[in-house]
Amino acid sequence: MSVEPLRLMHVHAHPDDESSKGAATTAKYVAEGVDVHVVTCTGGERGDVLNPKIDPATIEDIQAVRRAEMDAAREILGVKQDWLGFVDSGWPDGDPKPPLPEGCFALVPVEEAAEPLVRLIRTFRPHVMTTYDERGGYPHPDHIACHLVSMEAFRAAADPERYPDAGEPWQVAKLYFHHTFNRPRAVAISEAMEAAGLASPYADRLKEWEPDPAWDARITTRVPCAEWFETRDRALLAHATQIDPDGFWFAVPMEVQQATWPHEDYELVESHVPTELPETDLFAGLRDGVWEG
Ligand SMILES: [Zn+2]
């Protein structure tokens, strides 16, 4: 048995992403005694107010509001959290898309943006790290940048020749991509909703969402966490400006979610410990020994 607690680091683009992707997994591992550290690349300064019950005109300092929301979500999830301190790139609206705002996260060179993350990895020394896939999970420029910066930092943190002033090298044992919003899940939940005589919030989305079996086959790991969906929802609601409590996110009854898709899904991208696929635990291969990094 490992003497030290297991450590998990999630790297996310904005405050609220830690609550919409993998949050039930987080709550489950925290309850088990795993040390979970969320890294948030940007302050979410350019996020729109998405909750119709909040009048954007009443918000003077969106950055302060989003920090307070993150504090509340952090408490609910029971995690540590750090900001990398980059500025939200915003969602480029228009055709053609407008240029990204000067100084934003997505314009910072990857090598420069990765430095503070390398430092955090070498300090926290996670056994497992998660980030987004190369498409960003959803094509926000900050999500793509989060992927690139995470990959750079994951590799560089273990290399004594890279970022020599950012701490002692640390090899993260396993790296995962989130696949929370996969098509098979949307199909299964849609079918369950229709069978229950309810309208599926995924119906429109699925009309345009072409099957992509090769993409879906990338899922290697399903972490059972239905018991923690309510904690996930409370954390998400803490980001009050970003979430419509009567909207899409909460349109599927809890029982339907728990019965239909009682896990969160991941892709194992790199492992330095032996493990057998498919997995049901991000720490598979790490439970019986001491990982020295
Ligand atoms: Zn985001």
Task: Measure 266 CA to ligand 1 centroid, in angstroms.
Answer: 18
pTM over 0.85: yes
Integer Cα distance of 290 and 49 in angstroms: 45
C-alpha 234 to ligand 1 mean position (Å):
18
Ligand 1 (ion): residues with CB under 5 Å are: 13-14, 17
pLDDT exceeds cutoff 90 at 240:
yes
Tell how far the Cα of 287 is from the centroid of ligand 1, in angstroms: 31
d(CA 17, CA 239): 10
Handedness of CA 154, 159, 163, 169 (dihedral sign): positive
Query: How far does residue 197's CA lie from ligand 1's centre (Å)?
Result: 32
pLDDT digits (tens, 9 = 90+) for 87-127: 999 999 988 999 999 999 999 999 999 999 999 999 999 99
pLDDT tens-digit profile of 247-275? Answer: 888 999 999 999 999 999 999 999 999 99
* pLDDT more than 70, % of the chain: 99
Residue 209 CA to ligand 1 center (angstroms) comes to 21
CB 188, CB 155: distance < 8 Å: no
Ligand 1 mean position, distance from CA 22 (Å): 13
From ligand 1's centre to the CA of 65, what distance in Å? Answer: 16
13: CA distance to ligand 1 center in Å?
5
Whole-angstrom Cα distance, residue 131 to residue 149? Answer: 10
CA of 242 to the centre of ligand 1 (A): 10
Q: Distance from the CA of 92 to the center of ligand 1, in angstroms?
A: 13
* Sequence-ordered list of residues with C-beta below 8 angstroms from that of 142, at least 6 positions apart, any chain: 13, 14, 41, 42, 88, 89, 104, 105, 106
> Is residue 2's pLDDT more than 60?
no
Task: Say what the pLDDT of residue 289 is.
Answer: 78
- Average pLDDT value over all residues in the chain: 95
Confidence class of residue 1 from pLDDT cuts 50, 70 and 90?
very low
| 199-to-85, 185, 230, 264 alpha-carbon distances in Å | 41, 16, 21, 23
